[in-house]
Amino acid sequence: MEKLDQIARLIAQNTDDDGVLDTAIPRLSVIRMSKPTEPLHAIHQPAVCIIAQGAKQVMLADEIFRYSPGQYLVVSVDMPVTGQVIEATQDKPYLCLRLDLDLKLLSEMLVDMPAALATPTMRKKCIGLSHTTPEFLDAALRLTQLLDRPDEIAYLAPLIERELMFRLLRGDQAEMIRQILAPENRLQQVNRAISWIRQNFSAPFSIEQVAVEARMSTSSLHQHFREVTAMSPLQYQKQLRLQEARRLILGNAMDAATAAHQVGYDSPSQFSREYRRLFGAPPIQDISRLRSEPSRYAEA
Q: What is the mean pLDDT of residues 69-91?
A: 93
Q: What is the mean pLDDT of residues 223-245?
A: 92
Task: Name the residue among 268, 283, 278 with its Cα closest to residue 237.
Answer: 278
Give tens-digit pLDDT for 257-297: 999 999 999 999 999 999 999 999 999 999 998 888 766 66
pLDDT for residue 62 is more than 50: yes
% of the chain at pLDDT higher than 90 = 70
CB 8 within 8 A of CB 95: yes
Q: What is the mean pLDDT of residues 187-204?
A: 92
Q: What is the mean pLDDT of residues 219-225?
A: 91
Cα dihedral sign for 74, 170, 130, 34? negative
Give tens-digit pLDDT for 83-131: 999 999 999 999 999 999 999 999 888 888 765 545 445 555 789 999 9
Residue ranges per domain, the chain?
2-181, 186-230, 235-297
Q: For domain 2-181, is the CATH number 2.60.120.10?
A: yes
The size of the chain, in residues, is 300
Question: For residue 246, how many other CB atoms are within 10 A of its CB?
Answer: 21
In CATH, which superfamily holds the domain spanning 235-297?
Homeodomain-like (1.10.10.60)
pLDDT for residue 9 is more than 90: yes
pLDDT for residue 43 is more than 60: yes
Q: Which residues pair with 16 in a beta bridge?
A: none
Q: Which residues pair with 60 in a beta bridge?
A: 63
Quick one: pLDDT at residue 292?
A: 83
Provide the mean pLDDT of the chain: 90
pLDDT-derived band at 33 (thresholds 50, 70, 90) equals very high
Give tens-digit pLDDT for 246-255: 999 988 889 9
Quick one: pLDDT at residue 118?
A: 52
Give tens-digit pLDDT for 123-154: 557 899 999 999 999 999 999 999 999 999 99
CA distances from 177 to 75, 149, 234, 266 (A): 9, 31, 25, 39
Quick one: pLDDT at residue 117?
A: 47
State the SS3 of the chain: CHHHHHHHHHHHHCCCCCEEEECCCCCEEEEEECCCCCCEEEEECCEEEEEEECEEEEEECCEEEEECCCEEEEECCCEEEEEEEEECCCCCCEEEEEEECCHHHHHHHHHCCHHHHCCCCCCCCCEEEEECCHHHHHHHHHHHHHHHCHHHHHHHHHHHHHHHHHHHHCCCCHHHHHHHHCCCCHHHHHHHHHHHHHHHCCCCCCHHHHHHHHCCCHHHHHHHHHHHHCCCHHHHHHHHHHHHHHHHHHHCCCCHHHHHHHCCCCCHHHHHHHHHHHHCCCHHHHHHHHHHCHHHHCCC
Q: What is the mean pLDDT of residues 34-49?
A: 92
